[in-house]
Amino acid sequence: MLTELARNWWVLALRGVAGILFGFAAFVWPGVTLAALVLVFGVYVFVDGVFAVGEGIAMRRQLNLWWLVVLEGVLGIILGVLTFRSPSTTALVLLSLVAVWSILTGLFELATAVRLRKLIEHEWLLIFAGIVSIVFGVLLIARPGPGELVYLIGAYALIFGILTLILSFRIRGLRETIRHAVPGAA
């Protein structure tokens, strides 16, 4: 499994970059209406979901719980599609879906980190990303005001993106170790 993770480190890196870009956009353009921000978030969770499905499928032979990563991705894709199909849906309903998605994503990330703890040294990054996702979901359930919401979503995407990008480069760094330990790998 570690070989497959190291080979596909760039997928994690793309997820991280997407989160960082979205987070910056939320802080640079805070005057953007909540509806526009929700649509941009829909794009983000859709793209993130596509990459998560790819990661899960790539790990299917090495990880028994690969389907958790695929399920996380499918939830993101569904949430993204719902955002595009019903942009007039009330922010309250959509934010509830985002909150549930975030909490489930956090739980899946924690489960994956526990599974990977023996294979990688920096699983704490994935654990922290899972905790950040869960906290974000709980804060959304607390129903912040529209102004606070823009910054909350931006902060979440930025923190999650940074953690995912760092983890991807840590995993990329393992390629050389794997190459020496397993001839023909990575």
Mean residue pLDDT of the chain comes to 81
Q: What is the length of the chain?
A: 186
Q: pLDDT (tens digit, 9 = 90+) per residue, 97-134?
A: 788 989 998 998 898 888 777 776 667 878 888 898 89
For the segment 123-177, what is each residue's pLDDT rounded down to a tens digit?
Answer: 787 888 889 889 989 988 887 676 677 788 888 889 889 988 988 888 887 776 6
Nearest to 123 by CA among 155, 163, 69: 163
CATH, domain range 2-181: 1.25.40
What is the three-state SS of 114-141? HHHCCCCCCCHHHHHHHHHHHHHHHHHH
Nearest to 161 by CA among 3, 9, 13, 34: 13
Question: Using an 8 Å Cβ cutoff, are 152 and 22 in contact?
Answer: no
Separation of alpha carbons 131 and 37, rounded Å: 23
Domain ranges of the chain: 2-181
